[in-house]
Amino acid sequence: MRRVLIVGATSPLARYMAHEFARAGDRLFLAARDEQELERIAGDVRVRFGATVHAGRFDAEAIDEHEAFLQTVLDALGGLDGVVWVAGTMDGLEEAFRQPSAVRRLIDVNFSGAASLLTLCACYLEQQGAGFIAGVSSVAGDRGRAQNYPYGAAKGGFSLFLQGLRNRLSKRGVQVITIKPGFVDTRMTWGRDKLPFLASPQRVARESVQAILKGRDIAYVPGVWWLVMLVLRAIPERIFKRMNI
Ligand X SMILES: NC(=O)c1ccc[n+]([C@@H]2O[C@H](COP(=O)([O-])OP(=O)(O)OC[C@H]3O[C@@H](n4cnc5c(N)ncnc54)[C@H](OP(=O)(O)O)[C@@H]3O)[C@@H](O)[C@H]2O)c1
What's the rounded Cα separation, in Å, for the pair 216 and 4? Answer: 18
Helices (H), the chain: 12-23, 35-49, 66-77, 93-96, 100-107, 113-128, 149-169, 201-213, 224-234, 237-240
Residues 200 and 185 sit within 8 Å (Cβ to Cβ): yes
Q: Which of 4, 41, 60, 211 binds ligand X (CB under 6 A)?
A: 60
Residue 12 makes contact with ligand X by CB under 6 A:
yes
Provide the minimum distance between the beta carbon of 180 and ligand X in the complex, in angstroms, as a whole number: 7
Q: Is 138 in the site for ligand X (CB under 6 A)?
A: yes
Residues whose CB falls within 8 Å of the CB of residue 63, separated by 6 or more in sequence, listed in order: 112, 113, 116
Cβ closest to ligand X, residue 60 vs residue 169? 60
Q: Evaluate whether 176 touches 133 at the Cβ level (below 8 Å).
A: yes
At how many degrees (to 10) do helices 149-169 and 113-128 cross? Answer: 10
What's the CA gap between 95 and 75, in Å, rounded?
A: 40
The answer to whether 70 contacts ligand X (rule: CB under 6 A) is no
Q: Is 44 in the site for ligand X (CB under 6 A)?
A: no
Task: Pick from 123, 189, 223, 241 the residue near ligand X by CB under 6 A.
Answer: 189
Minimum Å distance from CB 188 to ligand X? 4
CB 36 within 8 A of CB 12: no
Residue from 4, 5, 6, 11 in contact with ligand X (CB under 6 A):
11
User: Under rule CB under 6 A, which residues in 82-111 are in contact with ligand X?
Assistant: 86-89, 109
Among 2, 24, 46, 59, binds ligand X (CB under 6 A): 59
Residue of 8, 53, 7, 19 whose CA lies nearest to 205: 19
Residue 172 vs 216, nearer CB to ligand X: 216
Beta carbon nearer to ligand X, 172 or 206: 206
Pick out residues in 191-230 that bind ligand X (CB under 6 A).
none
Is-contact 102 95, C-beta < 8 A? yes
Tell me which of 72, 186, 200, 202 binds ligand X, using CB under 6 A.
186
Instruction: Summarize as ranges the residues that interact with ligand X (CB under 6 A).
Output: 8, 10-14, 32-34, 37, 58-61, 86-89, 109, 136, 138, 181, 183-184, 186-189
